[in-house]
Copies of this chain bind each other. A is one copy, B any other.
Amino acid sequence: MVQTERSGCPINLTLERLGDPWSLIVIRDLMFGNRRSYGALLSGSEEKIASNILADRLKRLVRAGLLTRRDDPSHRQKGIYSLTEASIQLVPLLAHMGAWGRRHTAASVELSVRAELLEVGGPDLWNAFMDELRHLHLGAPRPARSVFAELQAAYRNALVRRGD
Contacts and interface: CB of A to CB of B under 8 A. Distances in A.
In the complex this chain forms, how many copies of it are found? 2
Interface residues of A, number: 45
A21 B19 contact: yes
Given A19-B19, A89-B103, A104-B89, A11 B94 contact: yes
A36 interface: no
Interface string A111-147: 1100100000000000000000000000000000000
Given A25-B15, A86-B104, A9 B93 contact: no
A100 B93 contact: yes
Nearest to A21: B19
Contacts of A98: 10-11, 14
A106 interface: yes
A136 to B, nearest CB: 19
A131 B11 CA distance: 22
A11 B115 contact: yes
A78 interface: no
A158 to B, nearest CB: 12
Contacts of A71: none
20 contacts: A6-B47, A9-B28, A9-B46, A10-B99, A10-B112, A10-B115, A11-B25, A11-B94, A11-B98, A11-B101, A11-B115, A12-B25, A12-B101, A13-B101, A13-B105, A14-B101, A15-B21, A16-B21, A19-B21, A20-B20
Interface of A: 6-17, 19-21, 24-25, 28, 46-48, 65, 86, 89-90, 92-94, 96-108, 110-112, 115
